[in-house]
Structure 1
């Protein structure tokens, strides 16, 4: 269906009607009358001529301004060329008339914008965007060179490169192996330090002075509720405890005041320079000693952490079994967490918004307009803009000013900005149900709601990964599974258990220091409860949470050597995206490890014949000494199919050839492969000793060096030969021969030590003989005097040598027993001339 063409009135029609005195009113004349300005004569129209728009043909402009006249039906057959010539001629006549017409141009002024209300201030950018500015006014002092049009250059490549460099700078670099190991060590050390810190704070909660100071804030009714009697029922004891906690929480909320920052999440710095410019907040937690803790108990002021600790001490003071719970905030060992904010560069100029730039331009134009016509720019009004006339600002009229609203100034109370989730809270033992329940009157103002304590992953101030509860006796328990909503899918990935192979063993070893020597029945009940919470965790809804999940697995997350068992039944499906198909979710127990035939052989198993590979891996460079080298080369030559891998169900135990007549079977390299004990042939024995091969050679027994594995250094592997494999009947003889070699080697070592000792004694005796020969003709008194002088000289020099040895002895290493005629004296003056030596 063809739409009906709508008739649009032309602009010239309205002018024709007004000039001919039709019934249609002249809106422009009415607007001037309202402004209090006399209407101009009809012979000299005030409205200036319209400029010709660039890029618009002249015949279209003539068609817009021409008066629509009725056209007879026969005139529709006029050709387009004749119509075009007529329109062009009319356009030329109109231009000639405008060229010699005198028009009174008023003094140039600028039309400005006033913000008369709060709504106009909010829409400041919109008002400035549609502001009409008279471009005919001179923008400079008359410099013709500056008035020449300037060429604008649009460089998109530079902007693209700048955006690319910014994105590259913001992209976080992956961690290297050394950096990850360093972060793991720091993470473990930080965990131990935080545990010690919380254990110290838990010990402060048992202080008698602190508890006595806080007990005065409790009424008898509160104490009666908090300590229900055994005569009540199970439900009654629980309700009494809840009522008491509610009253104590209301009292604590009104009396305790938060004035300082508490513990927050630890962040890594991307560069060392960021640490030098980092300044901690001035209102950090000042409770660093027990005396400060006692002072906080008196004033009831401090951080949120101190508030929770004092609340724990308050409950313990009346006999309530309370545990101090802390969500440790260690440094993360990965690179996905938030980092320390970068310091602000002082040298970099602040970016000016578009609104400020436009305001500065408006102020500049206003100053220029005042210099040209001060009277015209006085008292500007927003009503002038509504007239639509480019020179309407020249007319003097006083419009009514918009009523201004009085702004209400609201000053928010000073509040310490922290995470809306706590780091410290308290657990209360519900004696009736034998269950620990959380309570927090400082931050969350709640109790009996464990699932509200976990902060979101976007919280930069708090992260729930290790939640430790400390008892009054100093023992502690890991209760993270109670508060984490998705412990297996999300929280477990932030802990040390998944970062290291023995991470779980390391964490158990650390927590063993805080476990009780003999677990109680309450501890066993709590362990069963936490295990049940972990077992009842539902299936993840996010695809990323299935990665490394201990219960569920997706086929896309399987590792290189993992495959699903044939006939695996999916446990459900998960949506991978809005348009992506649903993916099947399998159990982790249906995932099997698959290996190549060579790796199975190193584990003592062989692939069954005619087995179909469970999976094909991409082609890899194999070891040159591999026993499957020729086979794999042939497979690669067939079509580059890759390496086939098989599951354990497709293999069987490898049985090597037995030892017959004392002869050990060997491979083409002259050794035997013994990667596991089951690969030792029947009738043989493996002797893993460095002297085994030598002993077998001495006894004349056939042996084969045992290949136990490979050492990979760089890109090449080196075979590791450890011991030999011999016939079992020769085992006793070889071991006896090995023991004899060991004993003989020990005798040789002892003979060497004996020779060294005799050599030292020979030098000592030679020195004594030389000394007696020198002092043989000297009297006893002179000898004693010389000894005393030597002692004084030694004390002056601070020497700690033997006082009996007054001469340095140099003994010849020759076999002769004589002195050899080389004697060194004690005189320092002879040092340059030989020092008393008798040179041969």
Structure 2
């Protein structure tokens, strides 16, 4: 209660010392002085100052207990405005107990009672408001001046827009796509050469001798069934032999390294500079390493499949090495290298993270103050927390740690769960190639288990190439892809370029056998059947660019369906979306305008109904409004299919006269547009020859050359009547002969001028040396020879290095006789 006075209990019969003047010393002021705090001015009056109200005072936040008042309640409960006075001779003072609390942030300070026993003792305590100045690490303890706040709406807007969603990858430009396609091609060729080299290593005699000793006679007997068995018996014998060999290979071969993985793009140059090769990458780089792997049976999964192929070949089994090539993707959605910490964008610090960092900062500051003030046995900071805290010496002891068992854990290699290399075995009974993989999937005769999902970041099935023992290869991607036409085909070079399929056939031609066997024809028919039996896609996006099926929404601007096209099925874009009809790609036709058909040599039949109306392309809003005002209700440009057009037949040539258009020329975009009875002569001299002979002709308009948005007509030769063809060719030849003679005459004239200049120079030299003695002339010749050996320029040859001027008839500065 405020104003209540009673004597403090005596603890341990200890008495507080009195001052020299008989007054009790101000212990709190001494504690502040020892702590290095600012001391309030000395009190001149014997009476203590009045107790101040506890308004807004620095405090330490701590969790509120269920039975303890909250901060809000403490703040609202203001002390009663009663005055409390104490005599100077009052020697009774209780010992206040405090709790050592870490100071995370300078907030409101509140007094917390330790127990119920001391509740009455602490009621008579008077404390003054003191600002605790904790020294900062940099030594700056002065109060910082308030900073001016600046409102930046643009920065806030950009920050809000950046948080709306994840960073989307920007689409690549046309130049970047062309560059990626070229890199994709080069990478494909390099990977093909790499696999061809590994396939050649599988035929090494030393490697096969090292592996053949691991096969038992029973295994070899099963792997090479006799011809006396039936078709089914030979197949079953081969399967049993492969099962025995796979079990043996699984037990003896150990994977210790990482094999080939999917290639990734680097978005920034810094990623390539900081890229480090993994420590567990494959170390088999040459044939000696491959032979060592055959002896130790250790290496990557890729080497394991290659050695397995060599093992089967050593037993007489017809096996070929299969590899799923992992080239760099050419599209914008290709996988990229993960961003490092240096190149990653700094994330915005949230308010909670900022508060946690401030708490950690103040804890470090409090620990620094505690370490600096722990020199003496009793410090001001300890007495502020508890007066008897120095009587106890707490020495924390670490708990005994249990010894951990030491064992060698197997090395974990992060790889895809789908293989890059495997082996194909020829089933002689059925004349069919079957896959087998004893390293990763441990399966055989299951071709559909080798395709990884689209979410696999380590493996992508796009090109699967099988290499025979003789070095020839075949593209067998269609055997292992579940959706070749819908998904896998979009990842290949055939869809990236117009001539992509032609380029890929040219590459595979290098590995094509010289003669096509019956087995090759059987395999080609099998792969074509697999592609033909591929079911209809279930995803709407897979219909885009599909070679067999098409949706009306995916038709291009100049593509239409033929009249009466029958849908092959329906598909829905979602659970609540309406069903869309699926059509065959063969029912899609390309439609063009009448002008474009004319440039291709076709003419739209009169009375045909347009298959489609193309809306006009709007360049900007202003032009759109102008078109709406001028041509309101115009449906656009009509386009027609090839079924609605026929081959254009121009008017024939009559009486040697060529039919011309309003510009005085004739359109010859294709050879079929030459009028009947006429001939097209593509020569720059044809028009001059026709004018020279007085023959009627018409310049041939063969196309347009576009620069920007304007087109310029291209005229190439003339069209004349067929009966004048020989005369025109003879005249053109005569013009060419005259032009050649003119060129020869010019060259002859230049040569004569050079000879004339040479003779004039010799005459001038003779006149100069005519009055010179024989000895002086010899000395001059000797000096000239020395200069020639040294490489100095000769005065006698400078005149021949001059540029010949056709109009120069002088004598080099001398008069001509």
Q: TM-score range by the shorter chain?
A: 0.7 to 0.9
Report deviation, 1:699.
Answer: 1.2
- 1:519 corresponds, among 506, 512, 516, to 516
Residues 1:346 and 1:328: Cα distance change in structure 2 (over 3 Å)? closer
Residues 1:759 and 1:324: Cα distance change in structure 2 (over 3 Å)? farther
8 Å Cα contact 1:811/1:819 also seen in 2: no
2:652 maps to 1:658: yes
- Superposed CA RMSD in Å reads 4.8
CA–CA distance in structure 2, aligned partners of residues 815 and 619 of structure 1: 61
Q: Secondary structure at the match of 2:514?
A: coil
Report deviation, 1:735.
Answer: 2.1
What is the aligned partner in structure 1 of residue 546 from structure 2? 549
Q: Secondary structure at the match of 2:265?
A: coil
What is the aligned partner in structure 2 of residue 43 from structure 1? none
What is the aligned partner in structure 2 of residue 538 from structure 1? 535
- 1:730 corresponds, among 724, 728, 743, to 724
1:166-197 CA distance string (max 9 Å, x none): 67882212111111111111111111111111
2:468 maps to 1:471: yes
1:138-187 CA distance string (max 9 Å, x none): 899657999xxx9x999999666325336788221211111111111111
Report deviation, 1:53.
Answer: 8.5
CA–CA distance in structure 2, aligned partners of residues 48 and 771 of structure 1: 127
Report deviation, 1:664.
Answer: 1.8
CA–CA distance in structure 1, aligned partners of residues 807 and 81 of structure 2: 137
- 1:719 corresponds, among 708, 713, 719, to 713
Question: Which deviates more from structure 2 when the two are superposed, residues 640-649 or residues 786-795?
Answer: 786-795
CA–CA distance in structure 2, aligned partners of residues 511 and 49 of structure 1: 84
1:258-277 CA distance string (max 9 Å, x none): 22221111111111222111
Residues 1:699 and 1:443: Cα distance change in structure 2 (over 3 Å)? same
Q: Secondary structure at the match of 1:514?
A: coil
What is the aligned partner in structure 2 of residue 508 from structure 1? 505
What is the aligned partner in structure 2 of residue 220 from structure 1? 217
- 2:602 corresponds, among 596, 600, 605, to 605
Residues 1:791 and 1:638: Cα distance change in structure 2 (over 3 Å)? same
Residues 1:238 and 1:730: Cα distance change in structure 2 (over 3 Å)? same
Aligned length: 684
What is the aligned partner in structure 2 of residue 18 from structure 1? none
Report deviation, 1:724.
Answer: 1.3
What is the aligned partner in structure 2 of residue 327 from structure 1? 324
Report deviation, 1:653.
Answer: 2.9
2:313 maps to 1:316: yes
What is the aligned partner in structure 1 of residue 53 from structure 2? none
What is the aligned partner in structure 1 of residue 526 from structure 2? 529
What is the aligned partner in structure 2 of residue 643 from structure 1? 637
What is the aligned partner in structure 2 of residue 462 from structure 1? 459
TM-score with structure 2 setting the length: 0.73
CA–CA distance in structure 1, aligned partners of residues 562 and 218 of structure 2: 65
8 Å Cα contact 1:614/1:646 also seen in 2: yes
Report deviation, 1:777.
Answer: 8.4
TM-score with structure 1 setting the length: 0.71
Report deviation, 1:509.
Answer: 0.7
2:333 maps to 1:339: no
Report deviation, 1:559.
Answer: 0.3
Residues 1:110 and 1:642: Cα distance change in structure 2 (over 3 Å)? farther
Residues 1:740 and 1:637: Cα distance change in structure 2 (over 3 Å)? same
CA–CA distance in structure 2, aligned partners of residues 620 and 350 of structure 1: 43
Residues 1:232 and 1:727: Cα distance change in structure 2 (over 3 Å)? same
Residues 1:734 and 1:282: Cα distance change in structure 2 (over 3 Å)? same
What is the aligned partner in structure 2 of residue 686 from structure 1? 680
8 Å Cα contact 2:810/2:816 also seen in 1: no
Report deviation, 1:491.
Answer: 0.6
8 Å Cα contact 2:432/2:523 also seen in 1: yes
8 Å Cα contact 1:770/1:819 also seen in 2: no
Residues 1:166 and 1:757: Cα distance change in structure 2 (over 3 Å)? farther
CA–CA distance in structure 2, aligned partners of residues 412 and 611 of structure 1: 79
What is the aligned partner in structure 1 of residue 592 from structure 2? 595
8 Å Cα contact 1:606/1:651 also seen in 2: yes
What is the aligned partner in structure 1 of residue 492 from structure 2? 495
Structure-to-structure mapping, 1:15-30, within 5 angstroms: none
8 Å Cα contact 1:312/1:323 also seen in 2: yes
Report deviation, 1:295.
Answer: 1.7
CA–CA distance in structure 2, aligned partners of residues 51 and 700 of structure 1: 114
1:326-377 CA distance string (max 9 Å, x none): 1111111111111111121299989999799779959969999998766999
- 1:173 corresponds, among 170, 174, 199, to 170
Residues 1:788 and 1:317: Cα distance change in structure 2 (over 3 Å)? farther
Q: Secondary structure at the match of 1:325?
A: strand
Residues 1:660 and 1:331: Cα distance change in structure 2 (over 3 Å)? same
Residues 1:358 and 1:807: Cα distance change in structure 2 (over 3 Å)? closer
CA–CA distance in structure 1, aligned partners of residues 569 and 388 of structure 2: 79
Unaligned runs of 5+ in 2: 1-65, 83-95, 113-128, 135-141, 371-380, 391-401, 620-626
Residues 1:463 and 1:579: Cα distance change in structure 2 (over 3 Å)? same
Report deviation, 1:643.
Answer: 1.2
Q: Secondary structure at the match of 1:428?
A: strand
CA–CA distance in structure 2, aligned partners of residues 670 and 582 of structure 1: 56
Report deviation, 1:658.
Answer: 2.6
What is the aligned partner in structure 1 of residue 701 from structure 2? 707
What is the aligned partner in structure 1 of residue 125 from structure 2? none
Q: Secondary structure at the match of 2:498?
A: coil
1:4-46 CA distance string (max 9 Å, x none): xxxxxxxxxxxxxxxxxxxxxxxxxxxxxxxxxxxxxxxxxx9
What is the aligned partner in structure 2 of residue 271 from structure 1? 268
Q: Secondary structure at the match of 1:644?
A: strand
Question: Which deviates more from structure 2 when the two are superposed, residues 270-279 or residues 506-515?
Answer: 270-279
8 Å Cα contact 2:383/2:389 also seen in 1: no
Residues 1:743 and 1:791: Cα distance change in structure 2 (over 3 Å)? same
Report deviation, 1:108.
Answer: 7.2
1:119-140 CA distance string (max 9 Å, x none): xxxxxxxxxxxxxx99845899
1:229-276 CA distance string (max 9 Å, x none): 112221121112112211212222222222222111111111122211
CA–CA distance in structure 2, aligned partners of residues 170 and 614 of structure 1: 42
2:422 maps to 1:428: no
Residues 1:283 and 1:352: Cα distance change in structure 2 (over 3 Å)? farther
Q: Secondary structure at the match of 2:275?
A: coil
- 1:617 corresponds, among 594, 605, 614, to 614
CA–CA distance in structure 2, aligned partners of residues 748 and 563 of structure 1: 60
What is the aligned partner in structure 1 of residue 478 from structure 2? 481
Q: Secondary structure at the match of 2:631?
A: helix
What is the aligned partner in structure 1 of residue 281 from structure 2? 284
What is the aligned partner in structure 1 of residue 11 from structure 2? none
Report deviation, 1:483.
Answer: 0.9
Question: Which deviates more from structure 2 when the two are superposed, residues 488-497 or residues 219-228?
Answer: 219-228
What is the aligned partner in structure 2 of residue 743 from structure 1? 737
What is the aligned partner in structure 2 of residue 161 from structure 1? 158
CA–CA distance in structure 2, aligned partners of residues 325 and 814 of structure 1: 73
Question: Which deviates more from structure 2 when the two are superposed, residues 613-622 or residues 530-539?
Answer: 613-622
Unaligned runs of 5+ in 1: 1-45, 55-94, 101-105, 113-132, 379-404, 623-632, 823-836
Residues 1:797 and 1:682: Cα distance change in structure 2 (over 3 Å)? closer
Report deviation, 1:681.
Answer: 2.3
CA–CA distance in structure 2, aligned partners of residues 96 and 185 of structure 1: 81
CA–CA distance in structure 2, aligned partners of residues 604 and 308 of structure 1: 58
What is the aligned partner in structure 2 of residue 752 from structure 1? 746
Q: Secondary structure at the match of 1:188?
A: helix
8 Å Cα contact 1:766/1:819 also seen in 2: no
Question: Which deviates more from structure 2 when the two are superposed, residues 208-217 or residues 608-617?
Answer: 608-617
CA–CA distance in structure 2, aligned partners of residues 335 and 301 of structure 1: 38
Q: Secondary structure at the match of 1:639?
A: coil
1:461-494 CA distance string (max 9 Å, x none): 1111111111111111111111111111111111
Question: Which deviates more from structure 2 when the two are superposed, residues 300-309 or residues 807-816?
Answer: 807-816
